[in-house]
Amino acid sequence: MESKIVYHMEKFVAFLFGEKNDNDSEQRIYNKLLRLEGEELETWINTKIKKYITGKDVAYNEFSGENFEGIYGPITFKTWYKFHLDCESGEVMFIEEIYGQSGEEYVKLREKMINYQLKTLRYVRRMTCELDFITNYIEMLIMETNYDVLKAFIIQQVEPIEMR
């Protein structure tokens, strides 16, 4: 189950930073990511990029127009996922495929996410559907990732290295 969630996170990150994102078809955010280094990169990733990917704590006006690299605004994982389900792109799995027969693994992932939320938020978010669990799990993975590791991860998703 976790590998399927990570698969979707990879696809979403590739979309967000790639040229198929109509809100940033010129890849302004990605190009800035490539240019920045050190403390400036760390600050930008921790204050903007992580929120941009997760969609958590995002004020729309902070992430649109000149306030965020001149893009038209953020796109959430839920919006992206539902669009791909609706247009049957084949890029995403149905919720049933992601969860599969994951009983024991789900319990472990849920416990891991609850511990993360208690540590960072001091409460556990109410989840109304399976997709909420996936988005919250992706948030945990992104927020716990070091800034330079996240930069390398984004680059790998946008420009994957082909195995020979």
Query: For residue 127, is pLDDT > 80?
Result: no
Strands (E), the chain: none
Poorest-pLDDT segment among 32-41, 47-56, 127-136, 155-164 = 155-164
Dihedral sign of CA atoms 23, 52, 2, 83 in order: negative
Query: For residue 164, is pLDDT > 70?
Result: no
**Domain residue ranges in the chain:** 2-157
d(CA 39, CA 24): 25
Give whichever of 53-67, 68-82, 107-121 has the largest mean pLDDT. Answer: 107-121
pTM: 0.89
Which one, of 69, 64, 58, 67, lies nearest residue 26 by Cα?
69
DSSP 63: G
Q: What number of other Cβ atoms are within 10 A of residue 13's Cβ?
A: 20
Q: What number of other Cβ atoms are within 10 A of residue 9's Cβ?
A: 22
